[in-house]
Amino acid sequence: MKNYGNYDIIYTIVMSIPVGKVATYGQLADLAGLPGRARQVGYAMRVLPDESTVPWYRVVNSKGEISRRQGSSSESELEQRRLLESEGVRFNEQNKLSLREYQWKP
DNA sequence: GCAGTGACTAGTA
DNA sequence: ATACTAGCCACTG
């Protein structure tokens, strides 16, 4: 089995995001001691197994939008939005959320 | 080993 | 508001 690098640090930080809050890929990279490596955070989320308890859906991009996987249907995107809305996060008419309002500030 | 890819981002136009 | 760029670097074939 592959190691996929050591993403445990990233997963640990993601699991500490409070309910109803979000974090950006770049923010998580900084917190994990990997400044400028937001793409690695994205990869860490991509390889998460479905049965994982890591709240991947609380991770959004720097514009407050939900980032799309390659070739994804709109369903996974809607699922993420639905999970966030179930925690009280509200999206505007442009399918964006307010980082000023919801971004986690550790 | 090398080139292409990408749940990213800050900058520029 | 959109579009393109450079920088980023683990992973893949």
Q: What pLDDT score was predicted for residue A16? A: 97
What pLDDT, on the 0 to 100 scale, is given for residue A5? 67
pLDDT score at A68: 85
CA distance linking residue A88 with residue A57, whole number of Å: 13
The region, left, alpha or beta by phi > 0 then psi within -120 to 50, assigned to residue A95 is left
Per-residue confidence in pLDDT tens, chain A, 106 aa: 666 768 999 999 999 999 999 999 999 999 999 999 999 999 999 999 989 999 999 999 999 999 988 776 667 789 999 999 999 999 999 999 999 999 999 9
Query: In angstroms, what CA-CA distances link A88 with A8, A48, A97?
Result: 27, 24, 11
Amino acid at A55: P
Instruction: Give strand letter and number of the nucleotide nearest A7 (CA to C1').
Output: C10
In sequence order, what E strands does chain A have? 23-24, 59-60
Q: How far apart, in whole angstroms, are the C-alpha atoms of residue A80 and residue A77?
A: 5
Residue A43 pLDDT: 96
**pTM score:** 0.92
Please, which positions of strand C sit below 7 A from a protein CB? 1, 7-12
* pLDDT value of position A69: 82
What's the CA A87/C1' B5 distance, rounded, in angstroms? 34
What phi, psi does A83 have (nearest 5°)? -60, -40
